[in-house]
Amino acid sequence: MIYEGLSDNYTELLHAAKEAMTRAYVPYSNFQVGAALLDDEGHIHYGCNVENAAYGPTNCAERTALFRAVADGKRPGQFQAIAVIGSTDGPIAPCGVCRQVLVELCSPDMPVIMGNLSGQWSISTVSSILPGAFTPASLDNRER
Ligand code: THU
């Protein structure tokens, strides 16, 4: 798949997300999503959505990648970019919960690359996809 105008490294990350997408466990929605999170050492952490018969416990692809990376020893600030892909009309839009988790674990200016299977893509940053977020600093700066 060609993502016209997208840099080679982000195209590669979207392709990694596409690979992760094939591993999705989606018996209920039948809607596969893949994510690929690039860390500061150049390693890619893969994520796919994992659904559940109780629906609520479903984990999105983005959070799967982020939580896996933390479990593998990565810490906030040690991520360079995340790519997300799904079979949406335009580039996929991460859900609100995943945006909140991105704000927690990634730098505000970290690129978020969103794509679909027909070559469409868009790029944004963590802070711009969740304006006015409640952040770790919100807890430090509370009124006492
Ligand atoms: N989903 C993701 O994994 N990431 C997104 O950005 C949007 C939604 C999943 C959750 C659920 O398994 C399926 O897509 C339908 O909502």
From first to last of its 144 residues, the chain has per-residue pLDDT tens of 899 999 999 999 999 999 999 999 999 999 999 999 999 999 999 999 999 999 999 999 999 999 999 999 999 999 999 999 999 999 999 999 999 999 999 999 999 999 999 999 999 999 999 999 999 999 998 887
* pLDDT at res. 141: 82
The two structure tokens encoding residue 132: 């006015």
Say if CB 1 and CB 117 are below 8 A apart: yes
**Cα 66 to Cα 42: distance, rounded to the nearest angstrom:** 15
Give residue 126's pLDDT. Answer: 98
Contact 37, 44 (CB under 8 A): yes
Strand partners, 86: 33, 116
* CATH number for position 121: 3.40.140.10
Quote the number of domains for the chain: 1
CA 120, CA 82: separation in Å to the nearest integer?
A: 16
pLDDT at 36: 99
- Residue 35 domain boundaries: 8-128
Q: Is 143 part of any domain?
A: no
Ligand 1 atom nearest 60 alpha carbon: 3
Q: Does residue 138 sit within a domain?
A: no
Give residue 112's pLDDT: 99
Among the atoms of ligand 1, which is closest to the Cα of residue 32? 14
pLDDT at 116: 98
Amino acid (one-letter) located at 86: G
Whether 16 is in a domain gets the answer yes
Is 33 a domain residue? yes
Whole-angstrom Cα distance, residue 52 to residue 123?
30
Site residues for ligand 1, CB cut-off 6 Å:
26, 29, 31, 33, 49, 51, 58, 60-62, 84, 92, 94-95, 98
